[in-house]
Amino acid sequence: MQVCYPTFGMTDTHAHLDRLEAPDEALERARDLRAVLTLGTDAASSAAALGFAESWSNVYAGVGLHPTEAGTFSEEVADRLRALAAHPRVRASGETGIDYYWDAATPADQLRVLAFQLELALERDLVMVFHVRSKEGSDAAERDLEAWLREHEPPRFVLHAFGGDLRLAETGLELGGYVSFAGNLTYKKNAHLREAAAALPADRLLVETDSPYLPPVPKRGRKNEPAFVRYTLEVLAEARGVPFEEMERVTDANAARLFRW
Ligand SMILES: [Zn+2]
């Protein structure tokens, strides 16, 4: 076990450490982060996520089947994810959600996996981590996730890598959920995200990297990693007009409360 002693906070609530070229080196550079949640996208990567959580004291895992993988769902996959979810370092059911961008799985298969991930969340008292993505110019996935949330009311959940759909954010907040901002918050063209970030309630905000994806400014063009969460946090603080240290304290406390670490 690599024991870390964070001198300050900062929490990366969404990473895919198994997709980094040198994850342990990236975690060396993230030793001062209070926590990193690494999410699985299928049974193998969920097992890998748990491996990182067993090796690093500031890493926790989520187990799940990404909506683009929903076509591979089977009883065997469910059993493997269920077995992993019994581990105390697992704090999330996901990454799950609805994806119509890639046409990788049918809506029916995606709903079936959502039902399984909810069952897992309830069985193990886990936080559901939702991905949502529509085709360009459509909001079908957002509307379907919104309807699903209203129908099922998961007790603890995050809308990850918030993409600007205010109606979904409002529904999420109304149902007690959290909204997480990723590196795209820092992109010049995304003023609407910074406006949304300024208006949402402070006690429901989280930050993440979605490593190795969505690298923030000034790290665009290279692979993202947990330590870069600082740049998104800086822009979030600036958008809300509060000092960096305050934003760090608030998002850290939110994550600790939600994920119970
Ligand atoms: Zn992800």
* Mean per-residue pLDDT over the chain, rounded: 96
Q: What ranges in 8-124 are assigned the alpha helix state H?
A: 23-28, 43-55, 75-85, 107-124
Across 110-119, average pLDDT = 98
**5 CA distance to ligand 1 centroid (A)?**
26
pLDDT band at residue 8, thresholds of 50, 70 and 90? low
Q: Residue 25 class from Cβ within 10 Å (0-12 exposed, 13-18 middle, 19+ buried)?
A: exposed
pLDDT band at residue 103, thresholds of 50, 70 and 90? very high
Q: Residue 60 class from Cβ within 10 Å (0-12 exposed, 13-18 middle, 19+ buried)?
A: buried
Domain spanning 11-255, CATH class: alpha beta
Q: Residue 239 class from Cβ within 10 Å (0-12 exposed, 13-18 middle, 19+ buried)?
A: buried
Structure token pair of residue 18:
């198994």
Percent of the chain with pLDDT over 90: 97
Predicted pLDDT at 4: 62
**130 CA distance to ligand 1 centroid (A)?**
9
**pTM for the model:** 0.96
pLDDT band at residue 134, thresholds of 50, 70 and 90? very high
**244 CA distance to ligand 1 centroid (A)?**
25
Cβ 73 vs Cβ 116: under 8 Å: yes
**213 CA distance to ligand 1 centroid (A)?**
8
Report which residue type is found at 115. A
Predicted pLDDT at 6: 58
**174 CA distance to ligand 1 centroid (A)?**
23
Predicted pLDDT at 2: 74
- The closest alpha carbon to 46, from 96, 84, 89, belongs to 84
CA distance 140 to 228: 31
Tokens 């799940």 sit on residue: 64
pLDDT over 60 (residue 141): yes
Across 56-66, average pLDDT = 98
Q: Where are the domains of the chain?
A: 11-255
Q: What is the pLDDT of residues 215-233, one digit of tens each?
A: 999 999 999 999 999 999 9
**124 CA distance to ligand 1 centroid (A)?**
21
The continuous run of DSSP H or E covering 61 comes out as strand 59-63
Three-state SS at 38 = strand
pLDDT over 80 (residue 234): yes
**121 CA distance to ligand 1 centroid (A)?**
17
